[in-house]
Chain A
Amino acid sequence: MTAAGSVMHADTALVQRAKANDRAAFNEIVLRYKDKVYNYIYRMVRNATDAEDLTQETFVRAYLSLHSFQSRASLNTWLFRIATNLCIDHSRRAKRTQGLVTSLSPDNEEEEEGLQRDIPDATFDPQRLLLNKELGEKLEKALQELPEKLRMVVLLYDVEGLSYEEIAAIAGCPLGTVKSRLFNARAVLRRKLEPYLNVML
């Protein structure tokens, strides 16, 4: 059995018990997934307090709709989908305060066409600083600046290690869209971080 396969197998048993009101089993599920979910939500909503609330909410909703969860499906995908929907809701509510026109524009949060040219920081001196720390900081900032839909895919694929199929199921979009969003997200990040990426590994 593959690693992923054995995870699913173990999850299935837990889910069965959790569905039967076994609180300890549900607790175990939470322990296994809470940090992954939190890590994802944290970078989606970019705020620790909101991330904690939304992570809690993810598991409360999971608890309440366990009965409708098909054991054959992936717990991972299911939890991330709940989390993703919560993040989207959250950001739409936040947008309400940003002004009518900008919040209405369907293209506002997307830069999938017409990616802007970012000029890399010309004052960067590769010799001066410890690379990894600086790259890490700049990367976080660049991630924050990504439009929501692109950020979602790169977080799920590169950071959380989910597959294209899982991400397509989570985001509710076709596989091709996932691939192109990942491509675009990485292209944006690469351009923004170019000077920090020019090192020998």
Chain B
Amino acid sequence: MNRPFASWDNRDCERIQGLLSDYTDGSLSARQTWEVERHLADCRECAAQAQQMKVLVGALRSVERHSTPDDFMRKLHAQLDALGPVPQAQRSFSARWRDEWLALRNVLSLRRVSLVGAGLAAVGLLVFFMVGRPTSTSSPNTTNTTNTAAHLQQALERHVATAAGDPLDDPTAERLAAPLSLDSEGNGSE
């Protein structure tokens, strides 16, 4: 190709190279595509990069596909079975509570040899089992003092939990301190 007056410089290359990724995806505008292709026709370096990008993306799209091991479904269903039925919002309070208690017993009696398994499955199950479950033992019929106690307990326990997650803090101190100072407050009980 004879282009004695073609005038581009390294800045063009840099700009074009910045577009090569999108060019490979075919997501440039018509005008940008034309600009890129015009440059590639003249610039060996950029043309090589464009080709490499094409090969790369092609290779990425055709990497080996890994599959789950053979016993995957069986193991998964074993875990799901241990959870029991997922409670529906319409079911009665006591029926839900009974199911959760039963399911939880099963979960807590699971023994896993692998700690990764224990760490992920047992813990994950236990915690995520709690999604959307009623957390308070109080229903609208219980007295206000139970409500107060439950909320207080939860507030205190949250501090213990947060302290437990902080390597600079002291969860046993949080557990010891707060109930003492709050009980002795004798303040504003309902």
Chains A and B form a bound pair:
yes
Given the contacts A34-B68, A52-B68, A60-B124, A201 and B129 also touching, CB distance less than 8 Å: no
Q: Interface size class for chain A?
A: 35 or more
* Per-position binary interface string of chain A over residues 9-44, scored 1 when its CB falls under 8 Å from any chain B CB and 0 otherwise: 000000000000101001100110011001100110
Q: Please measure, in the bound complex, the distance between the C-alpha atom of A187 and the C-alpha atom of B60, giving whole angstroms.
A: 13
A161 surroundings in chain B (CB, below 8 A): 61
B168 surroundings in chain A (CB, below 8 A): none
Task: Pick the residue among B48, B69, B77, B86 that contacts A198 (CB under 8 A).
Answer: B48
Cβ–Cβ contact A56 & B59, under 8 A: no
Which of A61-69, A109-117, A121-129, A166-174 is near enough to bind chain B? A61-69
Cβ–Cβ contact A65 & B49, under 8 A: no
Given the contacts A21-B88, A67-B86, A190-B49, A53 and B61 also touching, CB distance less than 8 Å: no
Cβ–Cβ contact B131 & A21, under 8 A: no
* Per-position binary interface string of chain A over residues 155-171, scored 1 when its CB falls under 8 Å from any chain B CB and 0 otherwise: 00011010000000000
CB nearest neighbor in A for B89: A67
- Shortest CB-to-CB span from A185 to chain B, Å, is 9
Q: Does A145 contact B (CB under 8 A)?
A: no
Q: Please measure, in the bound complex, the distance between the C-alpha atom of A135 and the C-alpha atom of B18, giving whole angstroms.
A: 24
Cβ–Cβ contact A57 & B53, under 8 A: no
- Shortest CB-to-CB span from A41 to chain B, Å, is 9
* Per-position binary interface string of chain A over residues 81-92, scored 1 when its CB falls under 8 Å from any chain B CB and 0 otherwise: 000000000000
Given the contacts A30-B73, A57-B120, A158-B61, A198 and B52 also touching, CB distance less than 8 Å: yes
Q: Please measure, in the bound complex, the distance between the C-alpha atom of A140 and the C-alpha atom of B59, giving whole angstroms.
A: 10
Task: Pick the residue among B18, B73, B131 that contacts A64 (CB under 8 A).
Answer: B131
Q: Does A59 contact B (CB under 8 A)?
A: yes
Q: Does A199 contact B (CB under 8 A)?
A: yes
* Per-position binary interface string of chain B over residues 52-83, scored 1 when its CB falls under 8 Å from any chain A CB and 0 otherwise: 11111111110111111100110111011001
B1 surroundings in chain A (CB, below 8 A): none
A56 surroundings in chain B (CB, below 8 A): 72, 75-76, 79, 120-121
Cβ–Cβ contact A34 & B65, under 8 A: no
B8 surroundings in chain A (CB, below 8 A): none
Cβ–Cβ contact B63 & A139, under 8 A: yes
Task: Pick the residue among A35, A53, A182 that contacts B120 (CB under 8 A).
Answer: A53
Among all A-B residue pairs, the 4 with the closest Cβ atoms = A158-B60, A197-B52, A197-B55, A38-B68
In the complex, besides A31-B73, A65-B131, 9 extra interface pairs with C-beta distance below 8 angstroms are A21-B88, A26-B80, A27-B73, A27-B77, A53-B120, A135-B59, A136-B63, A183-B21, A197-B59
Between A and B, 22 residue pairs with Cβ closer than 8 Å are A27-B73, A30-B76, A35-B66, A38-B72, A39-B66, A50-B116, A52-B69, A56-B79, A60-B121, A61-B128, A65-B128, A65-B132, A67-B86, A67-B131, A67-B132, A136-B59, A139-B56, A139-B59, A154-B60, A158-B61, A194-B52, A198-B48
